[in-house]
Amino acid sequence: MTNLTIKEQQMLKAFINEGRDCIGAETAQELINDNMTWQDAGFLQDELGWSKQEIGGVMSSLMNKGLINPMGEPLPERSIEAWTATDEGIELGWDLSTLSPKSQIITKQRERHVCSTESNWPTDKEAKRSSTCS
């Protein structure tokens, strides 16, 4: 069992949603086979609306838990390092994403993710508490 905070869960979902949207994956295995979960700190900041410090802290935590890894190269259209979810991160993130399929990452500057009027996202107060997922 992997213990994740609410923010870790939200960021991992952002990686999964990116890959799912990119290749139309319908299963975690499809996403593992064609891992298009690429993100960088700027994209995550746009997606989640967090500060640079929050993004860096959560990315570091997910990396230490073996759920994301640096790609070692920048995304083609940007000059900062890209990250991807690991196979374990994809499996766990997929499970998290399918538990509440109607709650999607709300984009602030990009229109590629579909938003729902129904939301299961925690409030800021709730996000400070941690939760457990398996």
- DSSP per-residue string spanning 43-79: HHHHHH---HHHHHHHHHHHHHTTSEEEEEEE-TT-S
Contact 76, 43 (CB under 8 A): no
Per-residue confidence band for 78, with pLDDT thresholds at 50, 70 and 90: low
Q: Which residues contact 124 (CB under 8 A, 6 or more apart)?
A: none
8 A C-beta contact, residue 35 and residue 85: yes
Q: Architecture of 2-124 per CATH?
A: Orthogonal Bundle (1.10)
The residue assigned the tokens 């993710």 is 113
Whole-number pLDDT of residue 2: 74
In this prediction, residue 72 has a pLDDT band, given cuts at 50, 70 and 90, of confident
Which three-class secondary structure state does DSSP give residue 86? Answer: coil
Predicted structure pTM score: 0.70
